[in-house]
Amino acid sequence: MDSRANLIGLDRDELKAAVAALGEPGFRARQLWHWLYARGETDFARMTTLSKGFRAALVAHHVIARPAIAHHQKSADGTQKWLLRLGDASAVEAVHIPEEDRGTLCVSSQVGCTLTCRFCHTGTQRLVRNLEAGEIVGQIMLARDAFGEWPAPAEGRKLTNIVMMGMGEPLYNYDNVAKALRVAMDPEGLALSKRKITLSTAGVVPMIRRVGAELGVMLAVSLHAVTDELRDRIVPLNKKYPIADLLRACRDYPTLRNARRITFEYVMLKGVNDSPADARALVKLIAGIPAKVNLIPFNAWPGAPFECASDEAIERFAKVVMAAGYPSPVRTPRGRDILAACGQLKSASEKARAKDRLAAQAGAA
């Protein structure tokens, strides 16, 4: 086992401390930061602005590691999914969704998830742990690797936006997520603007305030139901933080009118939450909040206890929301053929684990 510490995921102060520990002055940390996060360099030997002695010391004590790519798939619609193997052999997925004028990377914050939302495949995965900051930033970095965007071109970038909407609840791993996003937003490095980063939460109310005060990124809230009775059932976190508390936190979230709307995500489940009455209740609930409502057609997975609402029901729902003055785009499912769509992340990683186990057994035998 390599005991050398990974530099990816360290914030500026920690990198400075690591550099000082090797007997180098503070400005070296800044040079190193540039190599790591603006240039994406993975080989100390090529860091030509650093002295040979410093490079040797770095090689002796540190590595520059991304999560390992265990499996890579590309959908017919251009969506890509990476299954990433972490140091402890657990796995997460990251998904890239290309669009005409931008490209969004969907980043995971945990291995699995503890929330057990009834419609989400990730919630059925047993193994759960928080990702470290380096494992979160590493997902962004390996997408940049894949697109050769070091340094990032000014025009036509394939990676422009980040959504913390992969596996896990980011606000149950706040410290590591916050650290990773600060690294991602650093103007001398990955330089992603806070306007292009969206953090999605199932509604961990006390942490929403910290996101607003400390990070200022765009907020998405997985609402999915308009009564506590239903939301308790399909998003069990609601028992702890009911709808009224959640919406109060949304009202308090620092927004600038239309430029900074909150996104409410709403998964369309047939016969469960898809009626016009639900739509009317929804616009009443969010009245006064600068918002947009993202309607997500339910993505099925093996054994899922729901069906997707019909196109007509979704359209009817969208019309009510739109008439109330809220944009209500229906999210086109992307990457369904590779199980990369919302709520489908898990299967591939578990299958891959099973395959690894079989291979290991075969090896042992």
Q: Which residues are catalytic?
A: 93, 342
Q: Which region, judged by CB under 6 A, interacts with ligand SAH, from 44-52, 95-103, 200-208, 209-217?
A: 200-208
CB of 198 to ligand SAH, least distance (A): 10
Rounded to an integer, what distance in angstroms lies between the CA atom of residue 180 and that of residue 174?
10
CB atoms within 10 A of CB 240: 11
Residue 342 near ligand SAH by CB under 6 A: yes
Residue 265 near ligand SAH by CB under 6 A: yes
- Is the Cβ of residue 141 or residue 235 nearer to ligand SAH in the bound state? 235
CB of 225 to ligand SAH, least distance (A): 11
Rounded to an integer, what distance in angstroms lies between the CA atom of residue 83 and that of residue 133?
18
Neighbouring C-alpha atoms within 13 Å toward the C-beta of 134: 17
CB of 249 to ligand SAH, least distance (A): 14
- Is the Cβ of residue 149 or residue 273 nearer to ligand SAH in the bound state? 273
Amino acid at 124: T
Binder among 139, 161, 201, 263 for ligand SAH (CB under 6 A): 201
Residue 169 near ligand SAH by CB under 6 A: yes
CB of 2 to ligand SAH, least distance (A): 32
Size of the site for ligand SAH (CB under 6 A): 16
Q: Which region, judged by CB under 6 A, interacts with ligand SAH, from 21-29, 74-82, 295-303, 355-363?
A: 295-303
Q: Which region, judged by CB under 6 A, interacts with ligand SAH, from 115-123, 130-138, 139-147, 322-330?
A: 115-123
Residue 107 near ligand SAH by CB under 6 A: no
Residue 120 near ligand SAH by CB under 6 A: yes
Rounded to an integer, what distance in angstroms lies between the CA atom of residue 79 and that of residue 73?
8
CB of 300 to ligand SAH, least distance (A): 7
Residue listed under structure tokens 């042992």 = 364
Binder among 37, 54, 119, 241 for ligand SAH (CB under 6 A): 119
Residue numbers at the binding site for ligand SAH (CB under 6 A): 117, 119-120, 165, 169, 200-202, 222, 265, 267, 296, 298-299, 342-343
